[in-house]
Amino acid sequence: MKANLQEALRNASADYAEIRWEVLERSRVAFQRDQLLALEHSREAGGVVRALVEGAWGMAVFTDPDQIPTKLAEAAELARAAARKVRNPIRLAEVQPVEDKFIPQLAQDFREIPLEEKRKLAERYNQVILNYSPQIVSSTVRYTDTLRHVYYANSEGTYLQQLIPDVTVLLLAVARKNGDIQQAFESIGEAAGYEVALDLEERAEAAARRAVELLSAKQVKGGKYTVILDQELAGVFIHEAFGHICEADFLLKNEPMRKVMQLGRRFGVEQLNVVEDGYIPGRRGNAPYDDEGVPRRKVYLIKDGVLTGLMHSRATAAATGMGPTGNARAVSWEHEPIVRMRNTYIEPGEASFEELLKGIDYGVYAKGAFGGQTEFEQFTFSAQYAYEIRGGEVGDMLRDVVLTGNVFDTLRNIERLGKDFQLKGGAGGCGKGGQSPLPVTDGAPHVRIRDVVIGGK
Amino acid sequence: MRILERAAGVAQAAELYQELREGVEVSFRGGEIERVGAREVLGRALRVIVDGKLGFASTAGEEEEALVEAALASARYGDPAPFSFPELRCDDAAQVLDGEVLKIPPEELISWGEEAVRAIREEFPDVIVDAHLWRGKITVRLSNTSGGELSEARSSLSMGVEAQWIREGDIYLVWVSRTVRRREDLDPQVLIAEVLRYLRWGERVVPAPQGRPPVLLVPKGTLVLLLPLMVGFSGMSVALGTSPLKGKIGEQVFDPRFTLVDDGHLPFAPGSRSFDDEGVPTGRLPLAEGGVVKNFFYDLRAAALAKAEPTGSGIRGGFFRGSGFRSPPSPGLRNTVIQPGEGTLDGLIAGMKEGLIVADVLGLGQGNIQSGAFSNNVSTGFAVKDGRVIGRVKNTMIAGNSYEVLKDGLREIGGEPEWVYGLAHVPALLVEGVSVVTR
């Protein structure tokens, strides 16, 4: 492989060129109620080449490995077509060429587990959900494992081989009472072996129990509240609302936004620290090297409430005069690397959960993330479920809690941080620029925020 | 056809699906060309039935033998196939290929992007413009052991323009896109005009009307109501008992003016195809007529479970058709059409004393859409007073229940339908019964 890729690169007529060839092995088992909707162990392979010519990118995506030299030529040709129109040429930040191999050790290699066993595992979880109560009318249980084998070479002499494992389990329950339908789910996602998918029966039951409980939960009343987010939801908040605007690609040719995102600007309380880290053992957001062959760097996005860093590709690093951070990631061989998050988290503070509750007359304790989306300063994300906070105590269950707001105001409105930190990689992933789902990890302690808008009747 | 033959040697039935995606894409960032890319991706999926049990495997760029082995291995541990593969024939081809699209050179796509940048910045010099353009085709080939073979090449052309208007303390984003199959159906000027209209409407930020004002959903905003229905009308939701529409065929569930059709045969429509991804011919499928529930949409599996006929709605790649060959077929929509009413957008606005226009939202599909509930942040929305757009709203949430709104809250249906995400052809809808909360 190495000789082939390097030979093709030697003959490329571009200022810079790179080849990424990937072989993927994946298994997937999916049940919906009693239906086995997917049972698969497949392999696929494909590649992407990029060429930089006079400051413009050309790219080609393909599935035939014999075509690598042809595709490199095509990418260079397309780059030339674009280059004629370029006013501000793209430059790449300097990176030391490297030859390396990253092969993680899996406690229990999922490739050695027969598909039948994976099916039985998913089926067992599915039964736990379906048997929980007559009010459970449906379920979705999905197990996936993926081993992404990446071969990467560029014209500067970097050659990398990485094995990236990913295991996810989704346990979703749907409950129904008359016309009312509610759902709840639990999920895991880890860069690990089969072992992390085992022994999740209690999580399956928790999902079923919650779906049933939600049938009699109170509908939240729309309005402005002091809110406590649990670790998962706070993690999704920092990823969705803040993380995305720290991805430097959207600041690249965007002068006004660059002014908003000035390093040194205060974004939150003194206690607020936000980290973006490329490697934490076992976490699915890991990118030991990114898809431009750049080694990882841990970045403080916010330190002591002040903006101190951004996430970069080589191009954004060069344009802003900062160092590359290893955040150029591609979801697969079908895509180019773009600036993405890895493991993103709010560092813990010092408050106990009781201390966070103290003084909240009427508020909302929002738990679990259902989904989230952001558009620069505006964000929205939905809690799986929530509880009233009355007189400083957790009260009745609430449903349909969707939070929305302006990220800058919301960061300023963070009042306190808990000490109970948790990192979580779910069964989904992050979407950006048509690339989804990218494995990421989010994390946070419990976080108390004032003046959060919750939609509702 | 070696793959199918090999599989058929062991399996009692087999089906091979192949898709070849080819095309050129162009990206602009910050008003400038950034990248031109080409794509040539061959994906394949094999389904087999062995001893009555269904197996599935997919691959890209891999050995044929591996695909056959993987599908057979899947069948070994699989469940009984509730359906058999249909005989592949297609007597009524849909119009889905425009050769003109495939002739568009990268330079021309670049020039469309440049024109968008020029036109928008001429009026709004501070606005940052990103653009994405694509032209290409997908060639689908399907064969199975029930006999016959189908193949079809479908062209596609798309343009998306994003305008970011960033001022101190305020960021406004407009995103407009079109996906078509025929070159003459994409007019960059129309798209640019829509971006400009939203920018003009959004120059000033005003408070949103509160409580339960009339809400005018303009095309992308309509998906707020449509998405729960897309789930509710799915034959799989019906077969699994999670659809609130289950058992309601023939019942008046919506306003009598509400007619919803999923049509796989509309000439050159973005979701049109002669046959679905399992080889079942597509056609015009009324879902609701005059507010009465008429049909659900089924793939082979959901049809078998619900003891209904497949409707040519077996689509691979999930709900938004993203992952293609990798996903087994599931019930999906081709072109979802809300029958338009009368009246122009300007006319609808002129008739509103006070209200909210919702042009786009964040968090589509979040929340409990099975029950019809929606709750979204209005990312592009405008306040109307005395028949005039007075400005843009911020930090505003809308919430309600799609089934309730479309039954009792439908005030007017517009007469100028537009394509949304290459999925739905929808007019503006003026509705009541949506709660609006703002900070």
Contacts of A457 in chain B (CB under 8 A): 399-400, 435
Note whether B12 contacts A: Cβ–Cβ < 8 A: no
- Using DSSP's 3-state secondary structure scheme, residue B227 falls into helix
Q: Establish if A257 touches chain B: CB-CB under 8 angstroms.
A: yes
Residues 175-234 of B with CB under 8 A from A: none
What is chain A's alpha carbon radius of gyration, rounded to the nearest angstrom? 23
Report yes or no: A63 at the B interface, CB cutoff 8 Å: yes
Report the candidate in B68, B21, B142 with the shortest Cα–Cα distance to residue A63.
Answer: B21
The residue type of A416 is R
- Decide if pLDDT at B1 tops 60: no
**B39 neighbourhood in chain A, CB within 8 Å:** 60-62, 334
Put simply, the chain A residues between 66 and 85 with a CB less than 8 A from any chain B CB are 67, 71, 74-75, 78-79, 81-82, 85
By C-alpha distance, which of B150, B138, B141, B132 is closest to B96?
Answer: B138
pLDDT higher than threshold 80 for residue B171 = yes
Domain edges within chain B: 2-201, 204-439
- Is some CB atom of chain A closer than 8 A to the CB atom of B417? no
Return d(Cα B277, Cα B323) in angstroms, integer.
13
For residue B50, what is the DSSP state? E
Q: How far is CA A76 from CA A59, A95, B249, in A?
A: 8, 22, 57
Query: Nearest C-alpha of chain A: how many angstroms from B142?
Result: 19
pLDDT at position B323 is 64
CA contacts within 13 A on the Cβ side of A210: 23
The pLDDT of residue A372? 74
Residue A40's DSSP bridge partners are A28
- Residue type present at position B327: S
Q: Given an 8 Å threshold on Cβ–Cβ distance, is B38 in contact with A32?
A: no
Nearest to A453 by CA among A405, A409, A407: A405
Helix (H) or strand (E) run with residue B367 in it: none
Question: Tens digits of per-residue pLDDT, B288-343?
Answer: 999 999 999 999 999 999 999 999 999 998 666 656 899 899 999 999 999 999 98
Residue ranges of domains in chain A, CATH in brackets: 2-216 (3.30.2290.10), 219-455 (no CATH)
Query: At which residue do the structure tokens 């709750």 appear?
Result: B375
Closest CA of chain A from B384, distance in Å: 21
Option in B41, B327, B375 nearest A334 (CB): B41
The CATH homologous superfamily to which domain B2-201 belongs is PmbA/TldD superfamily (3.30.2290.10)
- Among the partner residues A82, A400, A451, nearest to B375 by beta-carbon distance: A400
- Residue B86, strand partner residues: none
With contacts defined as CB-CB under 8 Å, which chain A residues touch B394? Answer: 378, 406
Minimal Cβ distance to B437: which of A37, A41, A453: A453
Residue A414 distance to chain B (closest CA, Å): 17
Across the interface, of B41, B167, B326, the residue whose CB is closest to A62 is B41
SS3 track for chain A: CHHHHHHHHHCCCCCEEEEEEEEEEEEEEEEECCEEEEEEEEEEEEEEEEEEECCEEEEEEECCHHHHHHHHHHHHHHHHHHHCCCCCCCCCCCCCCCEEEECCCCCCCHHHCCHHHHHHHHHHHHHHHHCCCCCEEEEEEEEEEEEEEEEEEECCCCEEEEEEEEEEEEEEEEEEECCEEEEEEEEEEECCCHHHHCCCHHHHHHHHHHHHHHHCCEECCCEEEEEEECHHHHHHHHHHHHHHHHEHHHCCCCHHHHHHCCCCCECCCCCCCEEEECCCCCCCCCCCECCCCCECCCEEEEECCEECCCECCHHHHHHHCCCCCCCEECCCCCCCCEECCCEEEECCCCECHHHHHCCCCEEEEEEEEEEEEEECCEEEEEEEEEEEEECCEEEEEEECCEEEEEHHHHHHCEEEEECCCEEECCCCCEEECCEEEECCEEEECCEEEEEEEEECC
Question: Which residue of chain A has the CA closest to B54?
Answer: A39
Task: For residue B23, name the pLDDT band (cuts at 50, 70, 90).
Answer: very high
Radius of gyration of the CA atoms of chain B, in A: 23
* DSSP secondary structure string for all residues of B325-350: GGSPPEE--S-EEEPP-S--HHHHHH
Nearest CA in chain A to B321: A434
- Which residue in B35, B126, B437 is closest to A223 by CB distance? B437
Q: In the prediction, which pLDDT does A456 show?
A: 66
- Whether omega before A437 lies within 30 degrees of 0, making that bond cis, reads yes
Q: Residue A178's pLDDT is what?
A: 83
> Is the pLDDT at B439 greater than 80, yes or no?
no
- ipTM score assigned to the predicted complex: 0.92
Question: Residues in chain A with pLDDT < 70?
Answer: 456-457
Instruction: Evaluate if residue B172 carries a pLDDT over 80.
Output: yes
Measured between beta carbons, the chain B residues lying within 8 angstroms of A224 are 439
How confident is the model at residue B368, as a pLDDT?
A: 77
